[in-house]
Chains A and B, each alone.
Chain A
């Protein structure tokens, strides 16, 4: 009875969000996930999604013709560039340029309130324009080369006309970004063993270690306070920003100088984009680059944990190789190496957990139960060799 009622509520919610009746791409969400939020001015259509997919894969949208969105968000790697620590962009003098941050998965990114590790972008639409023109990512000087291609390549001309009813100069970056965002909104994945256990009522979906890990996750481990699980769905994020003692620990002495310089500079979001991916020390200021307040110092967005086992390495800078490393970092109260100094601005939620070795392993097992069927064949973090 309860489940039926819930089903009805979900259905009602779907109908209310947008007119989705004829939309195959936004069918019933996977187990454990709510309906994908769709902006009213960018409704999903199969044609738009297909166009977005094509744009996502197009390497011509880079200065060297060698980097596409899909380079760092590879569908064969759960839409990340695992096992790279930080993403590789265009090559200069035969050497690939690298940014400062680990490529987050596109999978379930549609559920985030804001995009990028520091939340500097308000939507998937907005987000998609930045990597094209970032000097260490796709390296274009401006978006003109993209517009030139989509306005002249016959396949694109046809597709943009079909999807948006626009051609020639009518096709702008807005349509390009909308199509990419629409494609990304189809990359949602739930139905993990955890979902089948917790929402599907299948008590055998988790192993004993995973069940113990789940208990630790919501109790002693304190994980659930930020990586949220709710009664009807689990996004595994609180959509907030926390200083968890990664990255900022390396620049503690420089914070006054860096923060001061940043406040003086009054950078725009586009300038922030270039600055934080180009300079490791500035990158570690985290959310501060946007919020310009104390709370943001060294803080980064809580990532989802769905499919986390197949997207190593971890944290905003990819500095932790395995899930066990991550749990140990939290167990130490926000330092990777026990006994290292804690940073002054550490989020108040982070404190030593006193987990035993067994408990640490159980928590890792639990996180391995968050992999969706479509990514279950990928090698799990435990078996990956991570490039230094």
Chain B
């Protein structure tokens, strides 16, 4: 069900078959096969929500999710070039949680890059996280792809600095869903300026992959499936031929295409969130739900959680989701439609019927 050997060959086979059927313009196929040596894989683990109880006690379920993802990632063949962690390593930003999470992550045998999540940030505004994992936003290049990591969970200064009597209170407020006292996530002016300057040095033909914790698109404000300055960030990314945004936070598979930007969400190792209703208060870009998630079996704590490995194939990402108690899924760039798609599960006959519990 969930192959350990990533089947890049299958992906190529699919592309070749599509070309034979005459769906894909030949120029694209040529481009796709221009330099297969540039293809590579990385793994993506996200939203572990390691939660401290007291002393050396942590919530077992969240621990096990991260431990398992790390152990499985270590078994990947061929080995991924690196691992991304997509944010929310801790639950309430505590030193104990970040330390414990970092300890579990240290078992990984690969270079690992981290993204900041709101659960990591709002206790001490990322200070301890930074000691462990480095700068809040940064970029790096790998095999011809430019990778950017953003801290997209910032918000208005007034909310952050003036509103709350304590750091703990601020953290708890930001952790709440549908919270009228909450505040929308944003990348912010300072970081946008950095992003622009960083990308100015990059050729427009270079594939760009942006990692953020929140979606960089406006999906559902009540749960902060939302980035307040998403349009401004998208505008900075617009001049590039191939842009992929990969985000955590939503604990589910989502994919969308806005202009030149492909959006892909990753699974959490902790717990699943449902697909939110679309937000009616303002214009939103919530994609139409075409394939509902299989309802999680509450007995199997890992059900509806997972992690993913990602093929980067000449600048387009294909996310392969390793889903516990479920069939693995792939969301890949579909050259025929020009957007990321899970082509297999669009067919109603191939879907897993939702489970019913009594």
Give the residues in chain B near A295, CB-CB below 8 Å.
1-2, 324-325
Cβ contacts A236-274/B at 8 Å (1 or 0 each) = 000000000000000000011001100100000000000
Give the residues in chain B near A293, CB-CB below 8 Å.
1-4
Cα(A295)–Cα(B5), bound, Å? 14
Residues B55-71 near A (CB distance < 8 A): 60-61, 64, 67-68, 70-71
Is B299 within 8 A of A222, CB to CB?
A: yes
User: Which of A165-173, A345-353, A369-377 has 4 or more CB atoms under 8 Å from chain B?
Assistant: A345-353
Q: Which single residue of chain A is at the shortest CB-CB distance from B74?
A: A256
B303 touches A (CB below 8 Å): yes
Give the residues in chain B near A347, CB-CB below 8 Å.
300, 302
Cα(A222)–Cα(B60), bound, Å? 17
Query: How far in angstroms is the closest Cβ of chain A from B39?
Result: 21
Is A344 within 8 A of B5, CB to CB?
A: no
Is B299 within 8 A of A260, CB to CB?
A: no
Cβ contacts B10-25/A at 8 Å (1 or 0 each) = 0000000000000000
Give the residues in chain B near A352, CB-CB below 8 Å.
60
A295-B1, A344-B68 known; A260 and B75 CB under 8 Å? yes
Give the residues in chain A near B5, CB-CB below 8 Å.
263
Residues A276-311 near B (CB distance < 8 A): 291-295
Give the residues in chain A near B71, CB-CB below 8 Å.
255, 344-345
Cα(A225)–Cα(B297), bound, Å? 10
Cα(A333)–Cα(B60), bound, Å? 10
B301 touches A (CB below 8 Å): yes
Cα(A256)–Cα(B76), bound, Å? 9
A345-B68, A345-B71, A351-B60 known; A294 and B299 CB under 8 Å? no
Is A348 within 8 A of B77, CB to CB?
A: no
B189 touches A (CB below 8 Å): no
A255-B75, A263-B77, A294-B322 known; A348 and B300 CB under 8 Å? yes
Is A291 within 8 A of B1, CB to CB?
A: yes
B231 touches A (CB below 8 Å): no
Give the residues in chain B near A344, CB-CB below 8 Å.
67-68, 70-72
Is A263 within 8 A of B4, CB to CB?
A: yes
Give the residues in chain A near B60, CB-CB below 8 Å.
333, 351-352
Query: How far in angstroms is the closest Cβ of chain A from B61?
Result: 7
Give the residues in chain B near A333, CB-CB below 8 Å.
60
Cα(A345)–Cα(B325), bound, Å? 13
Query: How far in angstroms is the closest Cβ of chain A from B345?
Result: 18
Give the residues in chain A near B77, CB-CB below 8 Å.
260, 263
Cα(A342)–Cα(B61), bound, Å? 12
Cα(A359)–Cα(B4), bound, Å? 40
Query: How far in angstroms is the closest Cβ of chain B from A289?
Result: 13
Q: 11 extra interchain contacts, Cβ-Cβ under 8 A, other than A259-B4, A292-B4, A295-B324?
A: A255-B71, A255-B75, A259-B75, A263-B77, A292-B3, A293-B2, A295-B325, A344-B67, A346-B68, A348-B324, A348-B325
Ordered by A's residue number, 15 sampled pairs between the chains whose C-beta atoms are within 8 Å are A222-B299, A256-B75, A263-B5, A292-B4, A294-B4, A294-B72, A294-B75, A295-B325, A344-B68, A344-B70, A346-B68, A347-B300, A348-B325, A351-B61, A351-B301
